[in-house]
Amino acid sequence: MAENLDVITTGETMVLGVPLRPGRLRHAGSLELKIGGA
């Protein structure tokens, strides 16, 4: 028996990790997370 699901999508959701200071990601102590999309 199939279930009825209501799902609405508007594209791909992505998370963007931005270091607080310029430099390589491997040296970043923390990242600011932002929402991105396509």
Model pLDDT, residue 38: 64
Q: Tell me how far apart the 2 most distant CA atoms of the chain are, in Å.
A: 54
Q: Is 24 helix (H, G, I), strand (E, B) or coil?
A: coil
What is the tens place of the pLDDT at every residue in 1-38? 567 778 777 777 788 888 988 888 889 999 999 887 66
From residue 2, give the alpha-carbon distance in Å to each of 8, 13, 27.
18, 27, 49
Say what the alpha-carbon torsion angle 12, 33, 29, 25 is, to the nearest 10 degrees.
30
Among residues of the chain, what percentage have pLDDT more than 70?
89
Q: What is the pTM of this model?
A: 0.47
Q: What's the rounded Cα separation, in Å, for the pair 10 and 13?
A: 9
